[in-house]
Protein backbone atom coordinates (compact mmCIF):
# COMPACT_ATOMS: atom_id res chain seq x y z
CA UNK A 1 0.00 0.00 0.00
CA UNK A 2 1.18 3.51 -0.67
CA UNK A 3 1.69 6.04 2.08
CA UNK A 4 -1.12 8.50 2.78
CA UNK A 5 -1.03 11.57 0.58
CA UNK A 6 0.70 14.59 2.07
CA UNK A 7 -1.53 17.56 2.85
CA UNK A 8 0.54 19.82 0.60
CA UNK A 9 0.09 17.42 -2.32
CA UNK A 10 -3.65 17.24 -1.78
CA UNK A 11 -3.88 21.02 -1.65
CA UNK A 12 -1.89 21.34 -4.87
CA UNK A 13 -4.08 18.75 -6.59
CA UNK A 14 -7.21 20.60 -5.54
CA UNK A 15 -5.85 23.86 -6.95
CA UNK A 16 -4.94 22.14 -10.21
CA UNK A 17 -8.40 20.60 -10.53
CA UNK A 18 -10.06 23.94 -9.77
CA UNK A 19 -7.97 25.60 -12.49
CA UNK A 20 -8.76 22.87 -15.04
CA UNK A 21 -12.47 23.12 -14.31
CA UNK A 22 -12.41 26.94 -14.41
CA UNK A 23 -10.91 26.69 -17.89
CA UNK A 24 -13.54 24.19 -18.91
CA UNK A 25 -10.92 21.54 -19.72
CA UNK A 26 -12.46 18.90 -17.51
CA UNK A 27 -15.69 18.45 -15.62
CA UNK A 28 -16.45 16.86 -12.30
CA UNK A 29 -18.47 14.19 -14.10
CA UNK A 30 -15.61 13.31 -16.47
CA UNK A 31 -13.22 12.91 -13.56
CA UNK A 32 -15.69 10.70 -11.71
CA UNK A 33 -16.21 8.53 -14.78
CA UNK A 34 -12.48 8.17 -15.34
CA UNK A 35 -11.93 7.21 -11.72
CA UNK A 36 -14.82 4.76 -11.82
CA UNK A 37 -13.41 3.14 -14.93
CA UNK A 38 -10.01 2.64 -13.32
CA UNK A 39 -11.64 1.42 -10.11
CA UNK A 40 -13.56 -1.19 -12.10
CA UNK A 41 -10.44 -2.44 -13.85
CA UNK A 42 -8.46 -5.15 -12.09
CA UNK A 43 -5.91 -7.82 -12.98
CA UNK A 44 -8.82 -10.25 -13.21
CA UNK A 45 -9.58 -8.82 -16.63
CA UNK A 46 -6.07 -9.46 -17.89
CA UNK A 47 -6.07 -12.90 -16.25
CA UNK A 48 -9.25 -13.86 -18.08
CA UNK A 49 -7.82 -12.69 -21.39
CA UNK A 50 -4.81 -14.94 -20.76
CA UNK A 51 -6.85 -17.96 -19.66
CA UNK A 52 -8.94 -17.69 -22.79
CA UNK A 53 -5.79 -17.55 -24.90
CA UNK A 54 -4.58 -20.77 -23.26
CA UNK A 55 -7.81 -22.50 -24.28
CA UNK A 56 -8.61 -20.96 -27.65
CA UNK A 57 -5.92 -20.60 -30.34
CA UNK A 58 -8.09 -18.24 -32.40
CA UNK A 59 -8.50 -15.93 -29.40
CA UNK A 60 -4.74 -16.11 -28.74
CA UNK A 61 -3.99 -15.02 -32.28
CA UNK A 62 -6.46 -12.20 -31.99
CA UNK A 63 -5.09 -11.17 -28.59
CA UNK A 64 -1.52 -11.00 -29.81
CA UNK A 65 -2.63 -9.04 -32.90
CA UNK A 66 -4.69 -6.51 -30.95
CA UNK A 67 -5.03 -6.48 -27.19
CA UNK A 68 -7.32 -3.46 -27.45
CA UNK A 69 -9.78 -5.26 -29.68
CA UNK A 70 -9.90 -8.21 -27.29
CA UNK A 71 -10.35 -5.93 -24.28
CA UNK A 72 -13.31 -4.33 -26.04
CA UNK A 73 -14.67 -7.78 -26.80
CA UNK A 74 -14.59 -8.47 -23.06
CA UNK A 75 -16.58 -5.36 -22.34
CA UNK A 76 -13.70 -3.04 -21.41
CA UNK A 77 -14.12 0.39 -22.95
CA UNK A 78 -10.82 1.32 -24.57
CA UNK A 79 -12.05 4.67 -25.87
CA UNK A 80 -9.40 7.24 -25.07
CA UNK A 81 -7.13 4.60 -23.57
CA UNK A 82 -3.70 3.88 -25.03
CA UNK A 83 -3.57 0.83 -27.32
CA UNK A 84 -2.93 -2.43 -25.49
CA UNK A 85 -0.14 -4.64 -26.76
CA UNK A 86 0.25 -8.26 -25.68
CA UNK A 87 3.68 -9.89 -25.35
CA UNK A 88 3.58 -13.60 -25.97
CA UNK A 89 5.96 -15.70 -23.89
CA UNK A 90 7.12 -18.89 -25.58
CA UNK A 91 9.56 -21.65 -24.74
CA UNK A 92 12.92 -19.93 -24.39
CA UNK A 93 11.58 -16.36 -24.21
CA UNK A 94 10.21 -14.49 -21.20
CA UNK A 95 8.94 -10.90 -21.24
CA UNK A 96 9.27 -8.40 -18.40
CA UNK A 97 7.51 -5.02 -18.55
CA UNK A 98 8.84 -1.80 -17.07
CA UNK A 99 8.40 1.90 -17.71
CA UNK A 100 11.80 3.43 -17.07
CA UNK A 101 10.61 6.96 -17.84
CA UNK A 102 7.57 7.10 -15.57
CA UNK A 103 5.05 4.39 -14.73
CA UNK A 104 3.05 3.56 -17.87
CA UNK A 105 0.90 0.53 -17.11
CA UNK A 106 -2.07 -1.14 -18.84
CA UNK A 107 -4.60 0.24 -16.38
CA UNK A 108 -7.57 -0.61 -18.58
CA UNK A 109 -7.02 -4.32 -18.00
CA UNK A 110 -4.85 -4.44 -14.85
CA UNK A 111 -6.19 -1.55 -12.79
CA UNK A 112 -3.92 0.63 -10.68
CA UNK A 113 -0.19 -0.11 -10.85
CA UNK A 114 1.35 -1.45 -7.63
CA UNK A 115 3.67 0.97 -5.86
CA UNK A 116 6.76 -1.14 -6.55
CA UNK A 117 6.11 -0.79 -10.29
CA UNK A 118 6.41 2.98 -9.88
CA UNK A 119 9.48 2.85 -7.64
CA UNK A 120 12.84 4.16 -8.82
CA UNK A 121 14.35 0.85 -7.77
CA UNK A 122 12.20 -1.28 -10.05
CA UNK A 123 12.36 1.18 -12.94
CA UNK A 124 16.11 1.41 -12.91
CA UNK A 125 16.91 -2.20 -12.13
CA UNK A 126 14.42 -4.09 -14.31
CA UNK A 127 16.02 -2.80 -17.49
CA UNK A 128 19.61 -3.25 -16.39
CA UNK A 129 19.50 -6.34 -14.20
CA UNK A 130 16.30 -8.21 -15.03
CA UNK A 131 17.75 -11.51 -13.85
CA UNK A 132 18.62 -10.03 -10.48
CA UNK A 133 15.13 -8.61 -10.14
CA UNK A 134 13.47 -11.92 -11.02
CA UNK A 135 15.74 -13.76 -8.59
CA UNK A 136 14.70 -11.45 -5.77
CA UNK A 137 11.11 -12.08 -6.73
CA UNK A 138 11.75 -15.78 -6.34
CA UNK A 139 10.98 -16.33 -10.00
CA UNK A 140 12.93 -19.12 -11.64
CA UNK A 141 12.83 -19.36 -15.41
CA UNK A 142 13.37 -22.65 -17.21
CA UNK A 143 17.07 -23.09 -18.09
CA UNK A 144 18.07 -21.44 -21.35
CA UNK A 145 15.26 -18.90 -21.26
CA UNK A 146 16.14 -15.48 -22.62
CA UNK A 147 14.65 -12.37 -21.08
CA UNK A 148 13.15 -9.60 -23.16
CA UNK A 149 12.62 -6.44 -21.13
CA UNK A 150 9.91 -4.27 -22.66
CA UNK A 151 10.40 -0.61 -21.76
CA UNK A 152 7.03 1.09 -22.07
CA UNK A 153 8.24 4.46 -23.31
CA UNK A 154 5.52 5.81 -25.55
CA UNK A 155 1.95 5.28 -26.67
CA UNK A 156 1.35 1.57 -26.09
CA UNK A 157 0.68 -0.22 -22.85
CA UNK A 158 2.00 -3.76 -22.54
CA UNK A 159 0.75 -6.92 -20.89
CA UNK A 160 2.49 -10.29 -20.79
CA UNK A 161 0.80 -13.43 -22.06
CA UNK A 162 2.63 -16.06 -19.98
CA UNK A 163 2.89 -19.72 -20.85
CA UNK A 164 0.31 -22.11 -19.49
CA UNK A 165 1.73 -24.12 -16.61
CA UNK A 166 2.04 -27.85 -16.97
CA UNK A 167 -0.44 -29.92 -15.03
CA UNK A 168 -3.45 -27.81 -15.98
CA UNK A 169 -4.82 -30.09 -18.68
CA UNK A 170 -8.58 -30.11 -18.68
CA UNK A 171 -8.87 -27.03 -16.45
CA UNK A 172 -11.71 -24.59 -16.99
CA UNK A 173 -11.25 -20.95 -17.92
CA UNK A 174 -12.11 -19.92 -14.36
CA UNK A 175 -9.56 -22.29 -12.88
CA UNK A 176 -6.87 -21.12 -15.28
CA UNK A 177 -7.64 -17.43 -14.77
CA UNK A 178 -7.17 -17.88 -11.03
CA UNK A 179 -3.52 -18.82 -11.68
CA UNK A 180 -2.73 -15.59 -13.50
CA UNK A 181 -1.70 -12.94 -11.01
CA UNK A 182 -1.03 -9.29 -11.60
CA UNK A 183 2.67 -9.99 -11.16
CA UNK A 184 2.55 -12.65 -13.88
CA UNK A 185 0.92 -10.14 -16.23
CA UNK A 186 3.84 -7.77 -15.67
CA UNK A 187 6.35 -10.61 -15.99
CA UNK A 188 7.99 -10.53 -12.55
CA UNK A 189 6.35 -13.85 -11.71
CA UNK A 190 5.11 -16.94 -13.51
CA UNK A 191 1.72 -18.56 -13.14
CA UNK A 192 2.22 -21.48 -10.76
CA UNK A 193 -0.06 -24.18 -9.49
CA UNK A 194 -1.02 -23.66 -5.86
CA UNK A 195 0.46 -27.04 -4.92
CA UNK A 196 3.72 -26.30 -6.73
CA UNK A 197 3.98 -23.02 -4.88
CA UNK A 198 3.32 -24.73 -1.59
CA UNK A 199 5.91 -27.40 -2.29
CA UNK A 200 8.67 -24.85 -2.81
CA atoms in the 13 A half-sphere facing the CB of 57: 0
Which of residues 80, 91, 143, 194 is near other proteins by CB under 8 A?
80
User: Which range of residues in 1-9, 11-19, 43-51, 95-103 is near other proteins by CB under 8 A?
Assistant: 95-103
**C-alpha pair distances (Å), 52 with each of 12, 63, 112, 173:** 44, 10, 23, 6
Would you say the C-alpha torsion 50, 75, 40, 126 has a positive or negative sign?
positive
CA distance 147 to 144: 10
What's the chain's length in residues? 200
Q: Point out which span in 4-12, 37-45, 129-137, 161-169 binds other proteins (CB under 8 A).
A: 129-137
Instruction: Among 3, 8, 25, 58, indicate the residue that binds other proteins (CB under 8 A).
Output: 25
99 catalytically annotated: yes
70 given a catalytic annotation: no
The smaller minimum CB distance to other proteins, of residues 84 and 179, is found at: 84
φ, ψ at 196 (rounded to 5°)? -65, -40
Give residues 147-166 in contact with other proteins (rule: CB under 8 A): 147-156
Enumerate the active-site residues: 99, 102-104
Q: Using CB under 8 A, list all residues that contact other proteins.
A: 25, 79-83, 85, 87, 95, 100-101, 127-131, 146-156
Amino acid sequence: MSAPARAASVARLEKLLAALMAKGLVTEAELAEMQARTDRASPEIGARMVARAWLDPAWRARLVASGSECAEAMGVSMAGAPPLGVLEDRPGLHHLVVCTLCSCYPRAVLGYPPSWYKSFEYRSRAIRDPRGVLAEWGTTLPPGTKIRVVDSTADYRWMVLPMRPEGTEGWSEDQLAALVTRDALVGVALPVLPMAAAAE
